[in-house]
Amino acid sequence: MVKIGAHVSIAGSIDRAVDRAEEIGCDTFQIFSRNPRGWRFKEISEEVAEEFKRKLKRSGMSPPVDHMPYLPNLATPKEDVYQKSVEALALELDRCEVLGIPYLVTHLGSHLDSGKEEGLNRTVDAIIKALSASENDVILLLETTSDSKNSVGGSFEDLAEIMSRVDRDDRVGACFDTCHAFVAGYDVRTEEGLDETMEKFDQTIGLERMMVVHLNDSKGPISSKLDRHEHIGLGEIGEEGFRLILNHPAIRTRPLILETPSDERRDDRGNIAKVRELAGED
Ligand code: MN
Ligand code: MN
Ligand code: ZN
C-alpha cells in the first residue's frame, strides 16, 4: 500500500488540520504551521499542541510533515532578510518539536544575483546555525527546486554539496518534488528517464535520504523551470508517467504528499483516488 496524503489547511486551529486530513482519506499529510506569507506568528499553546498530538495519534496517520513559510530566503545576500530567515528556520524546527512533527520541508532560496557559490555558502551557514539553535530530533528536508533563475539547489549535485558541507546526516534529508524535478530537466515520465533520475539521485544525494516525496504533475513542459502544479495525470508528466513513478520502488515506499490544485476539475480526494488507481490499488 502506498502512503498518500495532501497539504491541508490549519484554519481555525492547528489541530483542525488533522480532522481535514482524515476527512479526505489521507495516510500522511503536510501543513504550514502558520501563515506562509508573513513573518509574524503566534506561539503554539500547550493545549493546541496536545490536541494536535492526541488527534494525530488517534487517526493513525503518519508522518505529519511541516513546510517552511515562503518569505525566508536562506541564500539571500541581504543581511537583514538573512538574519530573519535563519531565525524563522530555527523557530519552525522548534514548532515541529512542540507538535511532534518529525520532518520540516524547506526550499533553498534565491541568491538574487550574488552568484551560486555565494548562495551555497549562505545556505550552508544558515542551516548549520538554525540546527544548532534548535537542537532536537526534527529532520530538515531540502526540497528539489524547479531551477528557476538565481535559485540555489536546482540540481541534485547542489543539494548533495549543501548536505555534505552541513555534515549533519542525523538532521538533514531531502524531499523529492516530481514537478520541480521535471521542470528542472529530469525526465521522470519515461521508464528510462525515471530510472536514470533515481540513479542520479542515489549517486549524488543517496536514496536513503529521500524521506518525503511531493507528488505533483506539472503545467509547464520539461526543462521549462516553471513551478506550476497540476492534477495527477492531467499535466505534462501525465497518467503513464505517474503510473511509472508510483510503481518505482524508490518512490512508492516513501510518504507521498500532494500539493495539487483544488478546482472544478478535481479536489484532493480526487487526486488521492487517482494516485491509488495508478499505484494499482483500486
Ligand atoms: Mn515546497
Ligand atoms: Mn513541493
Ligand atoms: Zn512547487
Q: DSSP letters of 13-82?
A: -TTHHHHHHHHTT-SEEEE-SS-TT-S--PPPPHHHHHHHHHHHHHHT---EEEE--SS--TT-S-HHHH
Whole-number pLDDT of residue 249:
97
Whole-number pLDDT of residue 7:
98
The secondary structure element, H or E, covering residue 121 is helix 116-133
* Structural domain spans, the chain: 3-278
**Beta carbons within 8 Å of 46's beta carbon, 6+ residues apart:** none
Give the Å distance between the CA of 221 and the centre of ligand 3.
14
67/212 Cα distance (integer angstroms):
12
Whole-number pLDDT of residue 113:
87
121/87 Cα distance (integer angstroms):
17
Whole-number pLDDT of residue 29:
99
Q: DSSP letters of 144-186?
A: P----TTBS--SHHHHHHHHHHHT-TTTEEEEEEHHHHHHTT-
User: Quick one: cell of 30?
Assistant: 503536510
Whole-number pLDDT of residue 153:
86
Please check whether residue 89 is in contact with residue 126, taking contact to mean a CB–CB distance below 8 angstroms. Answer: yes
User: Quick one: cell of 192?
Assistant: 528510462
pLDDT in tens, 193-207: 999 999 999 999 999
Phi and psi based region of residue 53 (left: phi greater than 0; alpha: psi -120 to 50; beta: remaining):
alpha
Whole-number pLDDT of residue 27:
98
Q: Which residues have CB atoms below 5 A from the ion given as ligand 3? A: 227
3-state secondary structure at position 104: strand
For the chain, what percentages of helix, strand and coil (3-state, to nearest 5) are there? 45, 15, 40
Q: How many C-beta atoms lie closer than 10 Å to residue 215's C-beta?
A: 29
Ligand of minimum distance to the alpha carbon of 108: 1
Please, how many CA atoms are within 13 Å of residue 67, restricted to the half-sphere of its CB? 25
Q: How many C-beta atoms lie closer than 10 Å to residue 216's C-beta?
A: 26
151/84 Cα distance (integer angstroms):
19
Q: Which residues of the chain have pLDDT under 50?
A: none
Give the Å distance between the CA of 151 and the centre of ligand 1.
13
Please check whether residue 120 is in contact with residue 156, taking contact to mean a CB–CB distance below 8 angstroms. Answer: no
Residue positions annotated with a catalytic role:
37, 67, 70, 107, 143, 177, 180, 214, 227, 229, 259
Whole-number pLDDT of residue 114:
84
Q: Peptide bond preceding 63: is omega within 30 degrees of 0, i.e. cis?
A: yes
Give the Å distance between the CA of 143 and the centre of ligand 2.
7
Give the Å distance between the CA of 107 and the centre of ligand 2.
8
Range 3-278 classified under CATH 3.20.20.150 = yes
